[in-house]
Structure 1
């Protein structure tokens, strides 16, 4: 398939092969003569070392163990003993390193000199860039510009146009970092450690049902009345969008009775209602988004490769957990804990509904962060890094789907913080600038490794696939149809993608996703702080 370098957005790059260089190399190769033969000849995992010349041989002989007679009924096993005690003249003269090599059956590594040791120590201390890490080589910094690109990225061999970014996939963040639950709800928890409440106002236990109005997903909680402490909020407070007036709605002093046991309920909901969350948060009129999420959802249960199946499932779990933190809950069912519906603000989303007590909201935030988001973030990081490091063509589709979901997740979080800035009537366009800059930089880390794996070549670029592409990626008919359709959609959406990037619309759904298809991708010039 011919490369079309003029097209700025392409779907799936693959590796390219320089066959002419291979033919020239083969034609210029000359076999060595007998006089230039190697001194060591490899046989499987052992090496045979020819004896030295007679004048150079060590005439010291070592008596070997006697060979057992064939008439003995059970001759002893002498293989391991012989390897330790039998010493031939040529082996006695061999260096210790060669003898160690013969025992282990592998080539020893050459000792580093002082300069190499210093460079290796510097790489371990300061980190390796993406290119050097993927090539498993020493990342040597430029002595004239230590903070700039490394020597390998500056060399002529650096064909792939990716930034010299000294970060790893485990350095990326996928959700906003939290040190403690929201302090305006309660100050009972200074960290994200799960600590149970041990002082209660009553022994009465009730069942409270909460919903976010996302399909049939709901949380069933066992709650108990608490003794309010300083820092516990007993009211829901907000500012009117239209007038700026501050409202206060009274709630009840209740909390979750057993947080550790309750933590299993949200995780079950996440597994059971992934498709409901996709239908709720993904625009149903956007076929590229819908088809990509549904393909990831299907492969999370049907992929033949277990590590890819688990990775997709964990990414979707993490995506759902992030969405749950951006949409408020309300009380449903008969049990209302004596609270009244909110009737103060007609323009508020929960008008006529019963709000959740703030302490319960803080507990759910803690459980979501400590027992769901953090463990699954760690799993996704390690699993994605391992899959990318393998550089297997048949795993490309899984890597693409994971990157797509994580980048779209960042767009949704950015849109959430823009909406929050409006609700708080801030002068800035976005709320929590530092958090967003960390999330956006994490996207750059993911894109750096993604474009390195793709190598900048073309595949499915014009909406059709070659037989080589299908064979390399090991696609079935459903996956092939999905990629062909996606290529056409990317081409159709190219104007809106280009506009989102040129105008730095970080909250646009395709601002980050469009960078997957840019073969000339570079780090963005503008950040969320520069557009305030």
Structure 2
């Protein structure tokens, strides 16, 4: 019987603790819920009573690894059938001599992005107009058939733009008067910590690797943020597009032609999103499994930035679904059952749970009372920030939603506040925050 169990275990993934400890994970036949084990090694550990054991952490299984987290939406805009998000395609110009240079902005930083565009001949399934719903009534904003002149050239423009402005976008968050004080101070710490992570600092033996990870995390955060909300034309060249006048989020703004949006979705995916695993998730996982002192604060900041994206993506999807519901009842909080974008939010929330579980295992300390081994080597300003956040989260507890119906998935502090949850007690069953799932479509409605 035991050999049969071991054979089954060999074909299954190891639990979180066994994987981190690099030991053989022999699974029991039954689990306590979707995430919880225990396996045999964890069961034996739970019976011990040793002060040398730092990680009294439940035995957890995940269907994805940390380096496969879903943080961004891949395609599914439905604006054309000529190509999907995995291909960059140029469209022939109606008149190759007529090339226009436009400037666009997502509102994330002061600098606009400059693009060359031309007119193209639309096909049957190309969506040219912008559609939205106001007070339950469908509105159509006419847009010209304009596309990028050269997608390969534009992809280089986008990469250069991200490299030049990602940290400027962090500064914009810090400066914005409506930014929550916890988010503002943590984003300011991203800037300060990045400048500290130079090669040769004795307190940061992995400084160069941490600096590269933090830099790439900020760049990918910036690139992913370009998939939320709506960009607009901001330069002198307007392509004779009239400003939107009856759609509150974009009143007075010039909408970008839809084919440009479709092409940019491919550019973001192929130039940035496709590299997320190699640039960020892989090195982040390595850092989490490392033993070097001094990397705790980097892990904290990267986790914080990821969880901010979870809040932003959830909020953006909810906004879109509500604005386009035409007053009809929703099948789920985030759209129709089976819709790829609804599935994206489901995978996004599951990924957030996996990330929080890794953080709970890694932190080695009590962030409720701000004490423990994980934070004993922090710089004074870093420790002050952690203490301040812990204190302010207690003060704001009543204002942070704790149920999906009240908006916990979209609130800027709800996901990150789980980073400061009490350490899981010995023998306890770990539970993630409420997660959106299509198996429970009424959750959050």
Query: Fold match, TM over 0.5?
Result: yes
Q: Larger C-alpha radius of gyration, 1 or 2?
A: 1
Matched, 1:173 2:70: yes
8 A contact 2:403–2:434 mirrored in 1: no
Which residue is 2:353 aligned to?
444
1:246 to 128, 131, 138: 138
The whole-number CA distance in structure 1 between the counterparts of 2:342 and 2:322 is 14
1:142-198 CA-partner distances (Å, limit 9, x unpaired): 14569843222333437623351234211311122x2x4522x2221135122333x
1:203–1:307 distance in 2 versus 1, CA, 3 Å: same
The whole-number CA distance in structure 2 between the counterparts of 1:498 and 1:161 is 26
The whole-number CA distance in structure 2 between the counterparts of 1:191 and 1:499 is 35
The whole-number CA distance in structure 1 between the counterparts of 2:405 and 2:21 is 33
Matched, 1:182 2:68: no
8 A contact 1:283–1:289 mirrored in 2: no
8 A contact 1:318–1:377 mirrored in 2: no
Listed as ranges, the matches of 1:361-440 within 5 Å are 361-425=261-325, 426-428=328-330, 429-431=333-335, 432-440=341-349
8 A contact 1:501–1:511 mirrored in 2: no
The whole-number CA distance in structure 2 between the counterparts of 1:349 and 1:153 is 51
Q: How much does 1:390 deviate?
A: 0.6
Matched, 1:193 2:87: yes
Which residue is 1:320 aligned to?
222
1:208 to 102, 109, 125: 102
The whole-number CA distance in structure 2 between the counterparts of 1:287 and 1:173 is 27
1:213–1:501 distance in 2 versus 1, CA, 3 Å: closer
> What are the ranges of 5 or more consecutive residues in structure 2 without an aligned counterpart?
48-54, 199-206, 336-340, 425-429
1:328–1:152 distance in 2 versus 1, CA, 3 Å: same
Provide the aligned length of Structure 1 versus Structure 2: 404
8 A contact 1:174–1:410 mirrored in 2: yes
1:87-129 CA-partner distances (Å, limit 9, x unpaired): xxxxxxxxxxxxxxxxxxxxxxxxxxx978983x655532111
Matched, 1:127 2:13: yes
TM-score of the pair, normalised by structure 2: 0.81
> What are the ranges of 5 or more consecutive residues in structure 1 without an aligned counterpart?
1-113
Listed as ranges, the matches of 1:55-134 within 5 Å are 119=6, 122-123=8-9, 125-134=11-20
The whole-number CA distance in structure 1 between the counterparts of 2:90 and 2:10 is 41
The whole-number CA distance in structure 2 between the counterparts of 1:296 and 1:436 is 26
1:394–1:353 distance in 2 versus 1, CA, 3 Å: closer
TM-score of the pair, normalised by structure 1: 0.68
Which residue is 1:26 aligned to?
none
1:292–1:280 distance in 2 versus 1, CA, 3 Å: closer
